Amino acid sequence: MKYLNHITEAIGNTPLVKLNKVTEGIKATILAKVEYMNPGNSVKDRMAIKMIEDAEKAGILKPGGTIIEGTSGNTGMGLALAAVAKGYKCIFTLSDKQGQEKIDILKAMGADVIVCPTDVTPDDPQSYYSVAKRLNKEIPNSFYPNQYDNLSNTAAHYATTGPEIWDQSEGKITYFATGVGTGGTVSGISRYLKEQNPGLVTVGIDTYGSVFKKYKETGIFDEKEIYPYATEGIGEDILPKNVDFDLIDTFIKVADKDGAVMTRRLAREEGLFVGWSSGSAVHGALEYAREHLTENDTMVVLLPDHGTRYLAKIYNDNWMRSKGYID
């Protein structure tokens, strides 16, 4: 019989799919790595299981333990899946700008969820980083994976997503584009791909309101770059250890509206029912491709998660209108 012992064994080996319509006018081949095909519907399944397995190996996470993490939802889903498989409890802290669906999904997977304010600095005791850290100190036998600085995050993509993209593109990939949040996705994949082809160019997709692009260009952590924005999952007000700036050749900032509009186009024109940061990644990637790529190039752009988590926002016409994103 052909079966898996647990749904977590279905993580990875996601399809690479050509974009046909939104790429109009671009001669290069643009391929999308569709990460919502993972069982938790996002790219984060890959690093979640790796962080847990590495912690088990290191003796940091013991049977009956509690996993505590600050997560925008997708990492929580990945951790919750692995926790169900392995018998751990989960507590997640997230910021109040996240969609209600993300909160309900985590609860459905048996996790406890604590909602924290967005408009506070990371070191404020109310921030979702601080609350996760405090609970980790207070709760015995708890493990705080810390997806921002835990290098198992990057290692997961170096071990799986990078080789998959190289094999699926038969080594023809010349450009790689992906959103940057914790940085695990971009750093792990870029390191693997650049080892195979040192000439490969990696484009990091950033948001307005985030520090990455300015830091790459000037080496300055400029607090003036930090202000609230709506796109979920990419951009940061900190420099996570998983962002390896040497592996990212250039950053493109994508506005909330441009990302949102492209997300809807991906559903309607390509049949890809994806989340907001996927639209941002494609918008930024195509902007770069229009200027720099030729018909000999192949660009892979990674689409991190599924559209269900954004039904009340991107896929709701009234919400889109209220934001001024559509007429």
Q: Residues 6 or more apart from 269 whose CB is under 8 A from it?
A: 21, 22
Least spacing, CB of residue 156 vs ligand PMP, in Å: 9
Minimum CB distance to ligand PMP, residue 16 (Å): 18
Select from 13-21, 173-181, 249-257, 314-322 the region that touches ligand PMP (CB under 6 A). Answer: 173-181
259 is a site residue for ligand PMP (CB under 6 A): no
Could you say whether residue 45 binds ligand PMP (CB under 6 A)?
Answer: no
Contact yes or no for 279/310 (Cβ under 8 A): no
**Judged by CB under 6 A, does residue 23 bind ligand PMP?**
no
* 183 counts as binding ligand PMP under rule CB under 6 A: yes
Contacts of 119 (CB under 8 A, 6+ apart): 228
- The residue range among 52-60, 161-169, 180-188, 311-319 that interacts with ligand PMP, by the rule CB under 6 A, is 180-188
> Min. distance of Cβ 142 from ligand PMP in angstroms?
22
Q: Report if residue 70 touches ligand PMP, rule: CB under 6 A.
A: no
Q: Select from 141, 326, 320, 294 the least CA-distant residue to 230.
A: 320
Q: Tell me which DSSP letter residue 254 carries.
A: E
Nearer to ligand PMP, 131 or 297 (CB): 131
State which residue, 200 or 248, has the beta carbon closest to ligand PMP. Answer: 248
235 binds ligand PMP (CB under 6 A): no
CB 275, min distance to ligand PMP, A: 5
Q: How far apart are CA 179 and CA 301, in angstroms?
A: 9
CB of residue 215 to ligand PMP, shortest distance in Å: 15
Q: Report the residue from 76, 145, 209, 233 that binds ligand PMP according to the rule CB under 6 A.
A: 233
Q: Is 72 in the site for ligand PMP (CB under 6 A)?
A: yes
123 burial via Cβ count (<10 Å: 0-12, 13-18, 19+): exposed
The closest alpha carbon to 85, from 75, 77, 94, belongs to 77
The answer to whether 184 contacts ligand PMP (rule: CB under 6 A) is yes
Rounded least distance, CB 268 to ligand PMP, Å: 20
Catalytic one of 18, 21, 27, 44: 44
Beta-sheet strand order (sheet of 175-179) = 16-18, 29-34, 298-303, 175-179, 201-207, 250-254
Is 21 an annotated catalytic residue?
no
Three-state SS at 70: strand
Query: CB neighbours of 149 closer than 8 A, spacing ≥ 6?
Result: 240, 241, 242
277 forms part of the interface with ligand PMP (CB under 6 A): yes
Per DSSP, the three-state class of 54 is helix
284 binding ligand PMP? (CB under 6 A)? no
Q: Which of residues 98-157 bind ligand PMP (CB under 6 A)?
A: none
Structure tokens given for 186? 């971009």
| β strands within 191-267, DSSP E | 201-207, 250-254
Binding site for ligand PMP (CB under 6 A): 44, 72, 74, 179-186, 232-234, 275, 277, 304-305
Active site residues: 44
